[in-house]
Chains A and B, each alone.
Chain A
Amino acid sequence: MRSKELSVERQTGLWRCTDLRKGLCGLRHPWLVSAGYSCSGPFCATAVAVKTLPLQTASTDVTDRILNLPLQMPDFFRLSELFSLKDLFDARVHLGHKKGCRHRLMEPYLFGSRLDQDIIDLDQTVEHLQSALNFTAHIAYRGGVILFVSRRRQFGQLVEITAQDCGEYAHTRYWQGGLLTNAPIQYGSGVRLPDLIVFLSTLNNVFQQHVGVRDAAKMNIPTVGLVDSNCNPSLVTYPVPGNDDTPAAMELYCRLFKMTINRAKDKRRQMELLQGLSAAGLTPGS
């Protein structure tokens, strides 16, 4: 491992000298130097991580059980019963934009086009929406901060009301540049950034990609995004191909997200009560 690293370093020319070898940097045959030195350089040190095991107390056991139990089942929150393909069809989720507005990267998600209007493949939408809602539910279960973003003025009020109803946050206004990337200065130090951003429309008012998509990717924040046939799905973690222009479709999505988050939070409270009761029951007995 050591010699392989060194050879790579030599080839790339990134030979960094420690204080012992400073004078020998300009040598033509640096491998003579490498033969005798000890493994103490910054690029070669083998990190010996001493893992200190945390004390296993009763409370950490309970917390681990609460957090790990949902991860063992594929659909712990039973979100597949919230919607069906027919509901999506009735809400006109399959209707995309015209052929001229089509984004190249959306072609895999399209079923086809009829009279120049793109039709989104609802089978794929169901799978994507299922995984997106599942992810949202897990984030909400763990008490994460969820931010709903949409720059469509038609649905701004609806999105804000949805966020208020599930106890999460919304941003349907003008996006100031440094909201995610310059957060400590904009909000004050010690601010907590969102753990998940849900884009109910990834475009802004001038039909360009919303700045939040790129910023979330920069700040390592996972995103769930509703991508229409004119959107770019590449930077979105959980893209959901679907229509974002019809009021019926938007109301369906808002309802689904609200029910998911409320269900997840209720489940968390339920689990805490149950585990708390079982822990209280165990300790006096044992």
Chain B
Amino acid sequence: MNRLSGEEWQGGHYLSVPLSSHTHTNAHLQRHTRTHTHTHTHTFTLSRVVPSVAALMTWLHSAAFTRRLARSIAYLFPSGLFDNKAKPLMKHPDEVFPKQRAVQWGADGRPFHFLFYTGKQSYYSLMHDTFTKALAVEKHQDRLRGKGLFTQDAKQISLVGSRWLLKEELEELLVETISDHDYARFIQLMERLLSLPYCSAEEDFVQRYRRQLEIQSSKQQVQPLQYDQHGVAYSTGDGRRKTATGTVLLRDSGSGSISINGTNYVHYFPVLQDREQLMFPLHFMGVLGRFDMQCSVSGGGHSSQAGALRLAISRAMLSFLSEGQVETMRQAGLLTPDPRIKERKKPGQEGARRKFTWKKR
């Protein structure tokens, strides 16, 4: 490859095709090839952009250049690696690393907690505190008895709607593993504290180890009542049982007439058991003659259709009832869909459970 002459280099031909080897021998050919190559080469004259090397260095280190460079790379080499959706899903460190205890003793080796040498300092400390409180309550009671002010009907702590902490929750609270026996002893001690008549002084302490129960019926979704053009209230409900589905339109201020798929319920369900299933929700709430029902049902057999309609009637009735009545219906099992379906047949057996006849030989 020919070395470019100093003149050409300083002229600023930054990217130019190297001259062929024979050009420097023939001057006229050289001139020809120079002009030829001149028109076909891409020339980037740096001197037009940046006046000096110092200015070039400044430009290369500037923020504007960095931004331009980043944009150019992102455009030329598109990558999904830096998308927000491509970021790894990481859990919070508290979920990954369980809570561990710090070092239990100081620089001189003396442990901080006075029950350290038992091995389960948090649990035994809790038992110690609970027992101290029980003793304090008993002492208070004795003082009242001495003054003659002791009464059995002192204010009690309300425990309705709450439950004791589970063993796992207690372990989490104490940051320590405890055995079933230890947990049972703890609950026993708390119950003993609660059995004292004047235990209301320690209510805060006791409530720290109880959790509120969620009321199940508040999860029921009750549709609001609808009114037709005559002002009669009505509501709909649907239910499923095995492969049967049924819908019901319940109308208020009726006479207790029921029609299923256009026919009377006595003709549709000749079997007494199926009619009883239809009646049961109304009979349970004592509103037998109040509603008119228009039902439609399909699929399944007669028994499953009756069950589907029963669930549909119960759901439709919810709009007419109060919260307490809804809770009663839930506890009676009227609002629970029956999950039983036909069990599948397994290979190697004749049915779901029936095996082939066992032959001794």
Asked if residues B128 and A147 are in contact (CB atoms below 8 Å), the reply is no
State whether the Cβ of B65 lies closer than 8 Å to any Cβ in chain A: no
The 5 closest A-B pairs by CB, nearest first: A192-B109, A173-B118, A171-B117, A164-B114, A171-B118
Interface size range of chain B in the complex: 10 to 19
Scan residues 104-140 of chain B and give those whose CB is less than 8 A from a CB of chain A: 104-105, 108-111, 114-120, 124, 128, 131-132, 135
CB distance from A254 to the nearest CB of B (A): 14
Q: Flag if A157 contacts B119 (CB, 8 Å).
A: no
Q: How many residues of A contact B (CB 8 A)?
A: 22
What chain A residues lie within 8 Å of B105 (beta carbons)? 191-192
Q: In the complex, A168 Cα to B118 Cα: how many Å?
A: 13
B contacts, CB < 8 Å to A: 103-105, 108-111, 114-120, 124, 128, 131-132, 135
Cα A170 to Cα B115 with chains together (Å): 6
Q: In the assembled complex, how far is the CB of residue B20 from the closest CB belonging to chain A, in whole angstroms?
A: 80
Q: List residues of chain A with CB under 8 Å of any chain B CB.
A: 143, 145, 147, 157, 160, 163-164, 167-171, 173, 176, 179, 186-188, 190-192, 194
Complex CA–CA separation, A186 to B108 (angstroms): 20
Nearest A residue to B111, CB-CB: A169
One of A145, A170, A190 near B110 (C-beta < 8 A):
A145
Q: Which residues of B are found within 8 Å of A145, using beta-carbon distances?
A: 109-111
A residues in contact with B120, CB < 8 Å: 173
Chain B residues whose C-beta falls within 8 Å of the C-beta of A143 in the assembled complex: 108, 110
B156 to nearest A CB, angstroms? 26
List, in ascending order, chain B residues with CB within 8 A of A173's CB: 118, 120, 124
Q: How many A-B residue pairs have CB under 8 A?
A: 47
A143 to chain B, nearest CB (A): 7
B103 proximity list for chain A (CB < 8 A): 188
Complex CA gap A176/B132 in Å reads 24
In the complex the two chains form, is B119's CB within 8 Å of A169's CB? Answer: no
**CA of A157 to CA of B115 in the docked complex: distance in angstroms?**
12
Bound complex: CA of A187 vs CA of B109, how far in Å? Answer: 12
Q: Interface centre among A163, A168, A170, A186, by most B CB within 10 Å?
A: A170
Give which listed residue, A160, A167, A179, A186, contacts B115 with CB less than 8 A: A160
Of B104, B114, B116, the contact of A160 (CB 8 Å cutoff): B114
Q: Are A179 and B111 in contact (CB under 8 A)?
A: no
Q: How far is the CA of A251 from the CA of B21 in the complex (A)?
A: 114
In the bound complex, CA of A245 to CA of B74 (Å): 85
A168, A188, A194: the one within 8 Å of B114 (CB): A168
Residues of the B chain whose Cβ atoms lie less than 8 Å from the Cβ of A147: 117
Q: List 29 A-B contacts (CB under 8 A).
A: A143-B108, A143-B110, A145-B111, A157-B132, A157-B135, A160-B128, A163-B114, A164-B114, A169-B111, A169-B114, A169-B115, A169-B117, A170-B114, A171-B115, A171-B117, A171-B118, A173-B120, A173-B124, A179-B119, A186-B119, A187-B119, A188-B103, A190-B109, A191-B109, A192-B105, A192-B109, A192-B110, A192-B111, A194-B117
